[in-house]
Amino acid sequence: MTPRISVDFLDTDRVSVSDRGFTYGDGLFETLRIARGRAPLWPRHAERLQAGCERLRIPPPDPVAVRDEVLRLAEGLDDAVARVTLTRGPGMRGYAPPVSPHPTLVVSVSPLVLDAAASSDGIALRLCTTRLATQPLLAGLKHLNRLEQVMARGEWDSPAIGEGLMLDTDGDLVCATAANLFAVFGGQLMTPPVNRCGVAGVARAEVLAVREVTEARLNPVRLEDADEVFLTSAVRGILPVRVFGTRSWQPGPVTRALQAHWCDIGLPSPSECSKDSDR
């Protein structure tokens, strides 16, 4: 099925080439999962979008109107993924942001089919050679400047690889190309900070809200010593890591407990609770 798309609440799938999203990547986006007509993590997406607008000085949209538009386009879909894109809108030539911008809002919704094996057995990770540049002014935001992720994701095409981890310029792990990274050491849950580069994922924020988590630097050698490793994604949920480097793991108790939490909030993973998700 082709995606259902609206631009500024109108049923079109086209934008002007003078839109600053197209000319400069001057905007933000959110990618969220809708299950059975609900978007349980929407408040966190709305919060991040608002924070991004403040940082980039883009007038924020009405979050209720955006949520309603997402749900309207998702009507009748059992499981769906929505992308909400907000740009600074049309612009004249030149980098100078318009004094009175008219932001463009694009909502796109597609049916979602999750990978059951990824949730149940875990995924294999690789280490990307493309590194994340240090840019505190943009770190954490889900902005439209994503060439680093594109280049990193272009490093492999084997479907046996589920994700690629990215390092910062110091050689520390930050996140995967499209997910955040967590590891358990001796019962302690930790995740790398995202205040110098990387994206502050919504699923990451949910984990931080419900578990005690230490934000600390982590390098690839130390990651192999972890008791459990998993990735978090607003769309794919909690993904156990099965293989990285010379190490392999079985999904551990922290990973399984967070998958159960994902079921509880209404985002069933296909392996864990899809059969009893009517509860």
**Residue 226: CB minimum distance to a second copy, A:** 25
Shortest spacing between CB 77 and a second copy, in angstroms: 14
- Give me the sign of the Cα torsion angle 92, 93, 98, 104: positive
Nearer to a second copy, 97 or 220 (CB): 97
Q: Decide whether 81 or 165 has the Cβ nearer to a second copy.
A: 81
Cα distance between residue 194 and residue 215, in whole Å: 9
Asked if residue 122 lies in contact with residue 241, where contact means CB atoms within 8 angstroms, the answer is yes
Task: Summarize as ranges the residues that interact with a second copy (CB under 8 A).
Answer: 3, 5, 7, 13-26, 29, 31, 56-57, 81, 83, 85, 88, 93-97, 99, 106, 108, 110, 130-131, 133-135, 137-138, 143-154, 157, 169, 177-178, 197
DSSP secondary structure code for residue 3 in this structure: P
Residue with tokens 């392999």: 248
Q: Is the dihedral of CA 67, 70, 73, 79 positive or negative?
A: negative
Give whichever of 129 and 250 is closer to a second copy, judged by the CB atom.
129
Tell the smallest beta-carbon distance from residue 16 to a second copy (Å).
6
CB nearer to a second copy: pick between 148 and 224? 148
Least Å distance, CB 182 to a second copy, is: 20
Please say which residue, 131 or 222, places its beta carbon nearer to a second copy.
131
In this complex, which beta carbon is closest to a second copy, that of residue 203 or of residue 254?
A: 203
Beta-carbon contacts of 111 under 8 Å, excluding residues fewer than 6 positions away, are 1, 77, 78, 79, 80, 81
Residues in contact with 31: Cβ distance below 8 Å, sequence separation at least 6, in sequence order = 81, 82, 83, 84, 142, 234, 235
Least distance in angstroms from the C-beta of 178 to a second copy: 6
Interior angle at CA 268, CA 267 and CA 274, nearest 5 = 155
Cβ–Cβ < 8 Å for 128, 164: yes
Minimum CB distance to a second copy, residue 160 (Å): 14
223-245: b (≥16 Cβ within 10 Å) or e: beebebbbbbbbbbbbbbbbbbe
Minimum distance of a second copy from residue 261's CB (angstroms): 25
Question: In whole angstroms, how far apart are CA 48 and each of 174, 185, 227?
Answer: 19, 29, 31
Q: How far is the CB of 169 from a second copy (least distance, A)?
A: 6
By C-beta, is 44 or 88 nearer to a second copy? Answer: 88
DSSP 8-state symbol, 190: E
Q: With contact defined as beta carbons under 8 Å apart, do 140 and 24 qualify?
A: no
Residue whose CB is less far from a second copy, 81 or 184: 81
Question: CA angle, 30 as apex, 257 and 269 as ends, to 5°?
Answer: 30
